[in-house]
Amino acid sequence: MPANPQVSEIDRQILTLPKGRNKVLLHSCCAPCSGEVMEAMLASGIDYSIYFYNPNIHPKREYEIRKEENIRFAQAHGIDFIDADYDVDNWFERVKGMEWEPERGIRCTECFDMRFERTALYAAENGFDTITSSLGISRWKNMAQINDCGQRAAARYPELVYWTYNWRKGGGSARMIEISKREEFYQQEYCGCIYSLRDTNHHRRQNGREKIEIGVKFYTHDDLKKEENL
């Protein structure tokens, strides 16, 4: 994989995979969350590919924007990008009856299970011995919940493990935002599913804010420059 000069400028810890492992399939939910994870693994010389399977994202326009941003970043780093199905009907069936569950509740567990099960299947069928995800880098997510889902999916295949590395530690969450501003990623304003969009818009209305507009908000270089000059 080709080196990226912007990656080498950061003094990073060298990451090591679980013992005996050497090929990772990274489940990516979006470019902002996966940017730091991708650069961290690249800087450590880890062999990995990206697996984009997120049928939860709604509407389709939001899904396409998030996917294209991730493809753009992967191509810039020379990383293989696997574009999986947008089987949204199966996702709605999977979470049926959980429409009013809160964020981080059982609906999210079901959603993570579905996405990781497909990730694990692809990994087992295509020579990967490790899976992990960028989902846990977000402070809005329950890392224990994500790790449990990932480990449960990987346990279906004896040769596969889920890497539970804490991508937030060592400044990972802060670098995630810095990379997003540097790359001017699309700045999504809700988790992704129709129910999180509904609940986020409800919260915004209660606080006198306009509802979310799809495809409008982006991180900018100017935001990063302002912080550097503080």
* Residue at token pair 């089987």: 87
Q: Which residues pair with 83 in a beta bridge?
A: 52
- Give the H or E element holding residue 25: strand 23-27
What is the reported pLDDT for 227?
56
Biggest distance spanned by C-alpha atoms of the chain? 54
What is the reported pLDDT for 52?
98
Q: Render 41-84 in DSSP notation, one character per residue.
A: HHHTT-EEEEEE--TT--SHHHHHHHHHHHHHHHHHHT--EEE-
Give the closest residue to 24 by CA, choosing from 40, 8, 11, 4. Answer: 40
Q: Is 108 annotated as a binding residue?
A: yes
Q: Is 111 annotated as a binding residue?
A: yes
Those residues of the chain that have pLDDT short of 70 are 1-10, 223-230
Q: Is 33 annotated as a binding residue?
A: no
Q: Is 149 annotated as a binding residue?
A: no
3-state DSSP of 133-148: ECHHHCCCCCHHHHHH
pTM: 0.91
Question: 42 CB contacts (<8 Å, ≥6 apart)?
Answer: 1, 3, 4, 7, 77, 79
Q: What is the pLDDT of residues 81-102, one digit of tens each?
A: 999 999 999 999 999 999 999 9
Task: Return d(Cα 102, Cα 99) in angstroms, integer.
Answer: 9
Left, alpha or beta for 218 (phi > 0: left; psi -120 to 50: alpha)? Answer: beta
24 in Cβ contact with 51 (< 8 Å): no
196 in Cβ contact with 190 (< 8 Å): yes
Going from the C-alpha of 110 to that of each of 51, 94, 98, 100, 101, the distances in angstroms are 19, 7, 9, 14, 11
| Cβ count near 205 (within 10 Å) | 11
What is the reported pLDDT for 4?
45
What is the reported pLDDT for 103?
92
DSSP 8-class letter at 128: -
Task: Return d(Cα 186, Cα 166) in angstroms, integer.
Answer: 24
| Cβ count near 92 (within 10 Å) | 15
* Distance between first and last Cα of the chain: 36
